[in-house]
């Protein structure tokens, strides 16, 4: 049901608490998924950082051999 239809059917007083409960339910249900996503994102960023550091080190070795 569209938001406007639900608002017309239930009225503002019922709609906002329902939206609050729905958003609260979504947040708490998906919280472990969000935590896993954060962990993967941090791991990916640190891996990219390591790859970039390795590339820079490799360039220094190739450009300035001893």
**pLDDT tens digits, residue range 34-49?**
666 666 666 666 666 7
Q: Where are the domains of the chain?
A: 3-63
Decide if pLDDT at 19 tops 70: no
What is the per-residue DSSP string for 2-66? Answer: -HHHHHHHH-HHHHHHHHHHHHHHHHHHHHHHHHHHHHHHHHHHHHHHHHHHHHHHHHHHHHS--
Contact 10, 18 (CB under 8 A): yes
User: Is the pTM of the predicted complex or chain greater than 0.85?
Assistant: no
Rounded mean pLDDT of the chain? 65
**Which residue did the predictor score with more confidence, 59 or 2?**
59
Decide if pLDDT at 15 tops 70: no
């Amino acid at each position: 049901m569209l938001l406007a239809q639900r608002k017309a059917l239930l009225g503002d007083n019922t709609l906002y608490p329902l939206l609050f409960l729905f958003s609260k339910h979504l947040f708490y249900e998906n919280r472990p998924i969000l935590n896993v996503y954060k962990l993967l994102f941090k791991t990916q960023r640190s891996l990219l950082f390591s790859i970039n550091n390795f590339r820079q080190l490799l360039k220094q070795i190739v450009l300035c051999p001893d």
